[in-house]
Structure 1
Amino acid sequence: MSVEVVFWSVVLARFALPLLIPLFPLPAIVGCLLLDGVDQTIFQTFGFDPPNYQSYDKAMDVFYLSIAYLASLRNWTNHSAVQVSRFLFFYRQVGVVAFELTGVRALLLLFPNTFEYYFIAYEGIRSRRNPLRYALKFWVLVAAGIWIFVKLPQEYWIHIAQLDLTDTIRDVPWFLPLVVVLLLVLAAVVWFVVRPRLRPADWPLRFRADPLPAEIDEAHERAAYQAAHRKVFDLAAVEKIFLIGLISVIYGQVLPGVEASDLEVFLGIAVFVAINSAIGVWSARRGYAWESAVLSFAVVFATNVVLVVVADLLLSRRGDDLQLTDTLFFVFLLSILTMLYDRYHPVSEYRAAAAKRDAAASGQTGVDH
């Protein structure tokens, strides 16, 4: 098997597997995490050392974490958990962009990837228990525990000490037995100390995402919600600009054919996101919606390809094949994230508004009694 086939097979897997996260959140993100951990070993096994691996790895990470964040908008019923998720996700994105611009590894320690394990923790809880049982304080404590006791040591190990797990296991004879003992101790603590103190589970083990609220689980209902609540430039549009803009800057550092500056990449993406938002609001107000995610993506992708062609004609630009490939990649990235955001954000907004209404009704009921 050629090195090129191995490399592109791994890259394709790292793009395809995250697309399962919205439907199977826990197993899919664990699969992404495992693939992230072994891809370099796979490359080395076939005698290939990708140039700028650190940047490539971060770029792959931010893609599947972006899908995970969008999945949290789709699936999570606890709005407080979503708020913590939003902070952790964008905090990490800012740190990765800062690292790409400066090359200072310490930034990855200061901006740890707490979001990933927080997402896993939420989905692990949801697999047996109702997340609505837990208030904001609980989710903040979960995030803080992961940040301090898991991610800071891990980020130091990877990015400051620059140690590799496979190499350490090979070169340090006592390291693997120590890891096994620590895992066994942790498992014993969970089984004998934590488990007996847990409340009874609310339902049998479930890995598939829960159904969407019946009031907004169909495409025409989401379109109607957007038509009633969205504007061309609102907070949702700003969030989408930063979501897609930051990840585009990161990929702009990795792709070889990108000649634009980081600011130009971000502003260019911002313009396209704004145009997409305008088209989305216009189509929602006219009731255009597609139930199929594949069809929705095809429509958004085709629209963005037309926009790029028109922009090139107006600016009289002519790029080489490498620039064309990078342009199509950015169109793909913009289109898939835009499509998923526009499908999932209304669900999160609806749940948040419903929770506020329920809280107000409960308060009113309490006054009456």
Structure 2
Amino acid sequence: MGTLLFLVVVGGRFVIPLFIPRFPLPALVAALVLDGVDQTIFQAFGYDPPGYQSYDKAMDMFYLSVAYLSALRNWTSRPALQVVRFLFFYRLAGVVLFELTEWRAVLLIFPNTFEYFFIAYEIVRLGWDPARVSLRRWVLTAAAIWIFIKLPQEWWIHVAQLDVTDTLAAYPWLIPILVLVVAGLALGIRFWLWPRLPQRAWSWHVAADPLPTEMDTAAERDAWVSAHWRVLSAATVEKVMLIGLLCLIYGYVLPGRRSSDLELFVGVAAFVVINVMISLAVARRTASLESALAAFGVRVLLNAGLLLAADWLLRRFGGDINTGIAQFFGVLLSLLITLDDRFRPVSQVRMAAQSRPDPPAVRPVFPGPAGATAGDSGPGADGTPAKDVQ
């Protein structure tokens, strides 16, 4: 029963994040809620999964990785994307350090500010245009979340190792205080913040906005990728770091791993680079698939073939691959590469459009006074009105 329960919960933690690209706010909140209650579910059924802390951090980073890639697909604000990129990789590095050192204070130094910043952006996008928010305000938002929300939360969970249910049971007088705090926040939002909000840019909506018209087909993505992507590039480095470090975190959860941390990271990095080369070759032939599910399936088969080739090569030199772990990493790697290949060009097109200088304004031409310069449209030498400049 315990194993079945564990598989159901883990399945939910893998499936729910896949809705984040299309429904960013509700899907991320659902993943956050499941993250918060999974241990309670296990305890209710008398099941204590081994290595829960590492399992929890690995599953957290999976849905945060999908959320980061969905930001590449959906976000229209360059400053917000710059902030969220830093917050994501900062947290990813912190979780890796935690796994390496098992020092819980690392998670306080590297708090998960990314998650709540993502939620803040999506709340803004419900009715307003995030692209109109300045970099300064996005940085202040991240700083406020970092200092006033995440640092206390990370200290409570990972340093003090306190549980909300147990604390409220021991100190029941805290319950009315929390109720008053929540009521005060609600009243402050309703009567102070709400009247000061700018006029809405559009009607409320939680679904992601449509893709840009110049990047909503596979052929258009192929054209962009073949023209702008290179194997040796910052995008490839970012992809290697994202997938390699995430697989390294999962390496501490999966039983039977025989490779060292360095061997695992280098092996995953090699697979990512090979996949980038294949993606470029396919894009240059305008042969990418429209269906994300079909593209994922083909990618899984491709990486399964690469794993078989790698296993054959290692066996010739006296080594081998743990088949179960290799298959898991192959599917995980295939999923993230598929999302990255489909979402990163969308972000690049949007950011390239924002970085172009605005066309020079056309100065209206009016009849000039006497003594106007040659470029002015004033009266002619014979006193007749000058012709309009076409």
Of residues 341, 350, 358, the one that matches 1:361 is 358
Q: Is the 8 A contact 1:241 1:273 kept in 2?
A: yes
Alpha-carbon distance in 2 for matches of 1:62, 1:290:
28
Whichever residue aligns with residue 52 of structure 2, its letter is Y
TM-score, length basis structure 1: 0.96
Q: CA deviation at 1:324?
A: 1.8
Residue 2 of structure 2 corresponds to which residue in structure 1?
3
Q: CA deviation at 1:201?
A: 1.3
Alpha-carbon distance in 1 for matches of 2:347, 2:364:
30
Q: CA deviation at 1:368?
A: 9.6
The secondary structure found in structure 1 opposite 2:361 is: helix
Alpha-carbon distance in 1 for matches of 2:211, 2:20:
15
Q: Which moves more between the two structures, 130-139 or 171-180?
A: 171-180
Residue 252 of structure 1 corresponds to which residue in structure 2?
251
Tell me the alpha carbon deviations over residues 73-128 of structure 1, each in whole angstroms, 9 at most, x when there is no partner: 00000111111110000000000000000001111000000000000000000011
Residue 35 of structure 1 corresponds to which residue in structure 2?
34
Alpha-carbon distance in 2 for matches of 1:177, 1:253:
41
The question of 1:168 aligning with 2:167 is answered yes
Indicate the percent of aligned positions where both proteins have the same amino acid.
54
Alpha-carbon distance in 2 for matches of 1:170, 1:295:
51
Whichever residue aligns with residue 361 of structure 2, its letter is T
Residue 16 of structure 1 corresponds to which residue in structure 2?
15
1:221–1:168: structure 2 CA closer, same or farther, 3 Å change rule?
same
Residue 52 of structure 2 corresponds to which residue in structure 1?
53
1:137–1:3: structure 2 CA closer, same or farther, 3 Å change rule?
same
Q: CA deviation at 1:305?
A: 0.3
Residue 184 of structure 1 corresponds to which residue in structure 2?
183
Q: CA deviation at 1:135?
A: 1.4
Q: Is the 8 A contact 2:75 2:81 kept in 1?
A: yes
The secondary structure found in structure 1 opposite 2:298 is: helix
The secondary structure found in structure 2 opposite 1:365 is: coil
Q: CA deviation at 1:365?
A: 2.6
The secondary structure found in structure 2 opposite 1:329 is: helix
Tell me the alpha carbon deviations over residues 299-326 of structure 1, each in whole angstroms, 9 at most, x when there is no partner: 1111000000011111117768xx3221
Residue 220 of structure 1 corresponds to which residue in structure 2?
219
Residue 302 of structure 2 corresponds to which residue in structure 1?
303
5+ residue gaps, structure 1: none
Q: CA deviation at 1:284?
A: 0.5
Whichever residue aligns with residue 365 of structure 1, its letter is A
TM-align CA RMSD? 1.5
Whichever residue aligns with residue 86 of structure 1, its letter is R
Q: Is the 8 A contact 1:17 1:31 kept in 2?
A: yes
Alpha-carbon distance in 2 for matches of 1:39, 1:178:
27
1:178–1:227: structure 2 CA closer, same or farther, 3 Å change rule?
same
1:217–1:4: structure 2 CA closer, same or farther, 3 Å change rule?
same
Residue 135 of structure 1 corresponds to which residue in structure 2?
134
1:356–1:100: structure 2 CA closer, same or farther, 3 Å change rule?
same
Q: CA deviation at 1:175?
A: 2.7
Q: Is the 8 A contact 2:70 2:343 kept in 1?
A: yes
The secondary structure found in structure 2 opposite 1:127 is: helix
Q: Is the 8 A contact 1:77 1:131 kept in 2?
A: yes
Rg larger in structure = 2
1:113–1:291: structure 2 CA closer, same or farther, 3 Å change rule?
same
1:355–1:113: structure 2 CA closer, same or farther, 3 Å change rule?
same
Q: Is the 8 A contact 2:314 2:320 kept in 1?
A: no
The question of 1:350 aligning with 2:349 is answered yes
Tell me the alpha carbon deviations over residues 133-182 of structure 1, each in whole angstroms, 9 at most, x when there is no partner: 11111111111110011100000000000012232233331233322221
Residue 112 of structure 1 corresponds to which residue in structure 2?
111
Q: Is the 8 A contact 1:233 1:277 kept in 2?
A: no
Tell me the alpha carbon deviations over residues 8-67 of structure 1, each in whole angstroms, 9 at most, x when there is no partner: 100000000000000000000000110000000000000011111111110000000000
Q: CA deviation at 1:213?
A: 0.4
Whichever residue aligns with residue 97 of structure 2, its letter is A
Structure with the higher helix share, 1 or 2: 1
Residue 159 of structure 1 corresponds to which residue in structure 2?
158
Residue 329 of structure 1 corresponds to which residue in structure 2?
328
The secondary structure found in structure 1 opposite 2:48 is: coil
Residue 194 of structure 1 corresponds to which residue in structure 2?
193
Whichever residue aligns with residue 132 of structure 1, its letter is A
Whichever residue aligns with residue 56 of structure 2, its letter is D
The secondary structure found in structure 1 opposite 2:50 is: coil
Alpha-carbon distance in 2 for matches of 1:104, 1:318:
33
The secondary structure found in structure 1 opposite 2:15 is: helix
Residue 61 of structure 2 corresponds to which residue in structure 1?
62
Alpha-carbon distance in 2 for matches of 1:49, 1:121:
34
Alpha-carbon distance in 2 for matches of 1:263, 1:123:
37
Residues 230-269 of structure 1 mapped to structure 2, 5 A cutoff: 230-269=229-268
Residue 373 of structure 2 corresponds to which residue in structure 1?
none
Whichever residue aligns with residue 161 of structure 1, its letter is A
Runs of 4 or more above 6 Å deviation: 366-369
1:103–1:228: structure 2 CA closer, same or farther, 3 Å change rule?
same
Q: Is the 8 A contact 1:24 1:209 kept in 2?
A: yes
Residue 369 of structure 2 corresponds to which residue in structure 1?
none
